């Protein structure tokens, strides 16, 4: 298993002698106390949830190992905090120390994990045999199993909202969903999901499908299903560019929805990278004098890449140049490498937890729709990926009017003056909520900002029926031209509401959805006839 490390791995980082002496003294004192407690039989399980099970309490050696590991981690992190380096380098050191600590946790080894030892004894060694079988199966798949994938099937219990593919090209398919109400709003909703993952994160099972809930609110929903390019493709899909994704992807989908519904404008929604693509495409359209969207919804989206959170540790000039040399002329950024990188942002939960349970304990992971989706990644065309990497994460040029040229048009996100709904998740480690909030300082029209509890995915996929989590908002929206307050000031003035943020968005979107009219009896039209039933064929292609 390859643990990703930040680029430009640092050389020696110095710590002031007096700081180092204090850290060493504190470690020695704490270690001596730990030994004394162990000798007296006074060790109790630490607060870390990994060591709460009864076998840890009954095994003094394992309990001592757990405490020593935690103590060593504290000392290492103290040294990082005291290192005389730039803050950027300090963040890289923190990330690398975190990777090292998670990899060396005593839970990860048979000798120091009493739960694993107990499972081996109680099963007569069968747990290890099952674990070895799980490992061999995962090696054959080329990825670690995070859920029991046998329980899910696209079109049956995932991505099962009724609809049809009514358009496709080399980049994407457009799905139109069948109405679930007698009447629908005249203006359609077009959803642009991220191309870095499959779209059905927004159409999981019926009870937590964002798409289905939008259709149930009387919206005619169209959605882009991005193609998953493969190394075996022979149509130059590995050379697709950012400009093609904007014109032949996003804007073409908006055109299809407008044509089918006979509406000059649509309501457009973008999620994560899909939101970045959508905003860029609308800026391109505005630069050409076109106005295809009446409203804009951005979910956990970066437009200003000044602060990209933990992903900053992977970005520097040398890393981007290396990627450009590798991929800028063609080739694929593999789904496997992307998935590994994102998993190691939270290695304790998304990597080592499965090493222990699947391989050491021989367990089958439980069925979980979100993790099935997480394992179904997509490849990205090299030119698209390298353009995105340099112009957003490295140089942050997209948010500067005219700094980015697409098809001869300078993109200006400040030209986006339609009503906008901007959502962020408070514990998002991929799109920090303050960075998502920064979009309110770019967009020029009326803006409503809402922050939900939880993280990048769970915060978004939060159906009202479950009455889980909460969200924060302030009364009223920002008026056109009104300056957004600082993020911390916004949070201080925001009110927390229990439950899902979806109803708040429904209420906002209804204002821009147009009059009600009879639901269409058929999907598509004479120009865009149904090609196949949803979820379509593009989403079924798995990365090699």
- Rounded to the nearest 5°, which phi and psi values hold at 184? -135, 160
**Is 272 within 8 Å of 244 (Cβ atoms)?**
no
**Is 157 within 8 Å of 516 (Cβ atoms)?**
no
- Rounded to the nearest 5°, which phi and psi values hold at 380? -125, 140
Q: Exposure of 441 by Cβ count < 10 A (0-12 exposed, 13-18 middle, 19+ buried)?
A: middle
Instruction: Find where tokens 């190394």 sit.
Output: 231
195, 272, 399, 440: the catalytic one is 272
Q: How far apart, in whole angstroms, are the C-alpha atoms of residue 427 and residue 424?
A: 9
DSSP bridge pairs for 223: 175, 191
**Is 311 within 8 Å of 346 (Cβ atoms)?**
no
Say whether the peptide bond before residue 419 is cis (omega within 30 degrees of 0).
no
Per-position DSSP letters for 320-357, written without gaps between them: HHHHHHHHTTS-EE-HHHHHHHHHTTSHIIIIIHHIII
Q: How far apart, in whole angstroms, are the C-alpha atoms of residue 419 and residue 476?
A: 13
Q: CB-side exposure of 131: number of CA atoms within 13 Å?
A: 18
**Is 374 within 8 Å of 361 (Cβ atoms)?**
no
DSSP bridge pairs for 189: 221, 267
195 carries an active-site annotation: no
Pairing of strands 405-406, 189-192: unpaired
| 53's tokens | 């099970």
Q: How far apart, in whole angstroms, are the C-alpha atoms of residue 45 and residue 55?
A: 10
| 109's tokens | 């080894």
Catalytically active residues are: 272
């Amino acid at each position: 298993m390859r643990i990703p490390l930040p680029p430009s791995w640092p050389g020696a980082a110095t710590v002031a002698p007096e700081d180092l002496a204090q850290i060493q003294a504190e470690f020695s004192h704490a270690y001596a106390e730990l030994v004394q407690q162990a000798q007296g039989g006074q060790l109790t399980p630490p607060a870390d949830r990994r060591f709460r099970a009864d076998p840890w309490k009954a095994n003094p050696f394992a309990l001592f190992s757990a405490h020593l590991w935690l103590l060593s981690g504290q000392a290492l992190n103290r040294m990082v905090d005291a290192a005389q380096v730039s803050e950027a380098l300090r963040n890289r050191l923190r990330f690398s120390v975190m990777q090292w600590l998670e990899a060396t946790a005593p839970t990860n080894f048979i000798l120091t994990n009493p739960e694993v030892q107990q499972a081996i004894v109680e099963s007569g060694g069968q747990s290890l045999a099952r674990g070895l079988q799980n490992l061999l199966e995962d090696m054959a798949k080329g990825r670690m199993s995070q859920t029991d994938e046998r329980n899910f099937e696209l079109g049956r219990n995932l991505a099962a909202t009724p609809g049809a593919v009514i358009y496709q090209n080399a980049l994407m398919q457009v799905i139109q969903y069948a109405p679930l109400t007698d009447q629908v709003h005249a203006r359609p909703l077009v959803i642009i999901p991220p191309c870095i993952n499959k779209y059905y994160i927004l159409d999981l099972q019926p009870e937590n499908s964002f798409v289905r809930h939008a259709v149930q609110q009387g919206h005619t929903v169209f959605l882009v299903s991005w193609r998953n390019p493969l190394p075996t493709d022979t149509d130059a899909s590995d050379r697709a560019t950012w400009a093609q994704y904007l014109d032949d992807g996003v804007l073409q989908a908006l055109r299809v929805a407008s044509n089918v519904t006979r509406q000059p404008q649509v309501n457009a929604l973008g999620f994560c990278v899909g939101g970045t693509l959508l905003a860029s495409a609308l800026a391109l359209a505005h630069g050409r004098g076109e106005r295809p969207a009446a409203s804009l919804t951005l979910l956990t989206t970066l437009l200003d890449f000044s602060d990209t959170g933990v992903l900053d540790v992977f970005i520097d000039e040398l890393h981007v140049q290396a990627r450009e040399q590798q991929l800028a002329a063609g080739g694929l950024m593999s789904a496997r490498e992307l998935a590994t990188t994102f998993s190691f942002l939270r290695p304790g939960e998304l990597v080592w937890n499965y090493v222990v349970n699947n391989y050491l304990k021989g367990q089958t992971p439980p069925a979980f729709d979100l993790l099935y989706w997480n394992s179904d990644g997509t490849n990205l065309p090299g030119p698209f990926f390298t353009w995105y990497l340099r112009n957003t994460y490295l140089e942050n040029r997209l948010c500067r009017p005219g700094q980015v040229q697409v098809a001869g048009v300078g993109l200006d996100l400040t030209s986006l003056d339609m009503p906008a709904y901007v959502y962020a998740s408070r514990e998002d480690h991929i799109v920090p909520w303050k960075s998502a909030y920064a979009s309110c300082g770019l967009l020029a029209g009326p803006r409503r900002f809402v922050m939900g509890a939880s993280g990048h995915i769970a915060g978004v996929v939060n159906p009202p029926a479950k009455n889980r989590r909460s969200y924060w908002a302030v009364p009223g929206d920002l008026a056109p031209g009104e300056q957004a307050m600082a993020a911390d000031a916004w949070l201080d003035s925001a009110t927390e509401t229990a439950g899902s943020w979806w109803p708040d968005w429904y209420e906002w979107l209804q204002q821009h959805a147009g009059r009600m009219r009879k639901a269409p009896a058929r999907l598509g039209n004479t120009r865009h006839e149904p090609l196949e039933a949803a979820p379509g064929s593009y989403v079924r292609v798995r990365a090699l």
